[in-house]
């Protein structure tokens, strides 16, 4: 029965037909419109870019802060 289930899911999954959108995407990404390639995908690309840059800046600042904290000698009581 397990063999039938696995064969059924494989055979039904292969029947699905998806529209080929590769030529559309190639045209979009090859268009010379002055937008960097990492932002040509639209709003979601811009959002991911800004989140990544924000996390990078925050992470760098936090590392510098921790290095400064680690370089200061602790006070003796």
Q: Tens digit of pLDDT for each residue in 17-63? A: 889 999 998 998 899 999 999 889 899 999 999 999 999 999 999 99
Would you give the distance in Å from CA 29 to the centre of its chain?
Answer: 17
**Rounded (to 5) percent helix, strand, coil in the chain:** 70, 0, 30
Number of CB atoms found within 10 A of residue 41's CB: 15
* Entry pTM: 0.61
C-alpha to C-alpha distance for 64 and 54, rounded to whole angstroms: 15
Who wins on pLDDT, 39 or 65?
65
Ordered structural domains, the chain, with CATH: 34-76 (4.10.91.10)
C-alpha to C-alpha distance for 1 and 23, rounded to whole angstroms: 42
């Amino acid at each position: 029965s397990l063999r039938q289930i696995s064969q059924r899911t494989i055979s039904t999954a292969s029947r699905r037909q998806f529209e080929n959108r590769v030529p559309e995407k190639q045209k979009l990404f090859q268009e010379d419109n002055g937008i960097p390639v990492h932002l040509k995908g639209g709003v979601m690309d811009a959002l991911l870019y800004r989140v990544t840059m924000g996390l990078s800046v925050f992470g760098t600042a936090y590392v510098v802060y921790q290095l400064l904290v680690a370089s200061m000698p602790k006070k003796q009581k």
